A and B are shown apart, each in its own frame.
Chain A
């Protein structure tokens, strides 16, 4: 009997290790031969630990499992109180278009043969048969844009590096996923690490890069361990290393660990950190594509951008480009989090509305109270009220509403949310995490906290000052940390002005 118990950090945080141990113990006691496979997560995080048993009809899901639920798995699985039916028939799963996450949760993440059997390495083989320029053309034609948040066309970035004269060239994967509400990078690195390695290797072939780094935040110990193991296996197997699967070009890949600085998710700050410096933002130009790591041409891409690449190369740019709307092409792995009934990872084509995501897919709040606001795109993203629910999920449409898609994390807040408190938190977070290089961010965030404290104390004269301060930060900051912190603050103020009115007046 084959049983899958995820090793994903979210599943482990909810007791997956104890459940796996209990399954092994129970099986031994009963004399049942079981093979326990520690897979990644299927992304239905409200059901974690989600245990699956192989049946002739397919894998059957049970969740959220506890140690006490294990014995019944061996007795009457059909009538088990945690039975969810066939995993792939669960509505949340069935409705998705899983391209990037096709293997996540399906296979043993470190089994390279299983990876290949499920379509892995097909994209890399396709790239090996092409000239670098043709690989870049394919990625450009797919319409893939940077999934880290900026939405910059990946093909254009790669072309700049390909045509840069200096060597050596580098591929740097930004896995400094610090946005609250985001966990797609973590899930992919834990659940399908070879997919990221394959994407980076294709980027190396396309640009002539011979070395690569994955910069993973230190808050992700499981992902770090998994990626290190996967790089070792891929190197041993000759996929990467001195030669890319027998090609004349080699690609050496190294895992690096951050040190708890949110700003290092900004690409130039990340490069400084990789070089061993303070994670201070660099002014652009020069672009990292021309003068990046150690002043050399460098592709800096997010995990999700790179992980989308193998599918595109294996299935063709046209197939990817056929999904999505307007200038947002392909799929986006949404991360539904916070106060939500069915939180998890939901990969779908661009264009789904905010309301569909929160109400239909997420099932509304976990508390059962009405939704008050949804913060989209991390701590620098806007708070959207329910009146924004018709907004289609794409780059331009969100920008048009004073928001951003960011890394596609959504944090749902229920009626109990304190919007003034959340606005203050945005400023406080910016003050804690500012790299200190530019004044609007370094000083502005501190003044922002003080000004919001004045508002909270009933000083209505502070509100115009807050708006002015937000404008200064937005227009004058060097990077998105100071530049976008005004989004959550101003959206909270705009959509929930009553919470910013002075206490005395409200009491009258």
Chain B
């Protein structure tokens, strides 16, 4: 683990979707990142804050979990979807931040009708979540063959890659716009504060204080 200052903590944040909501947390905790942080054009990936013991890094959502699992970052903010998919024993998720709320769902073509839910022992699914998808279907005795995509899953059924997708759904507007229909909810999703296991065990003083402050800020917002 590399710290920019001895004892400094690194918090990994996901680019994109939930940053607007998470910015409210930073304000509530009086964490003020350096000015570049909110500049979408910046090439910087690592940011100082007004708190000498805390740095921020901005990475892709799945990479937050990886950085925290390996201890490159001590804390992070990751969706339940990412945690289910990566499933590391070295990542703790002590605080539900109640932001980035949506659901992970199975969807299929709207024109295929309600009877399309599989009754065979095999199904093909396009998804960013192959592990979660296989586990979900395995629990029903169905073998899921997954096609891993990084985005634009909604194209897969229409273009013949796979009849089904597993993806995050919030309003359902994207599904509708692509002639898809939500068939089954797999899990409710929200973002969690995650902590590296080794850091949780060995750096109780500073780190546990920060976790407690996030917990208070969450309770205050609820």
Decide whether A and B are members of one complex: no
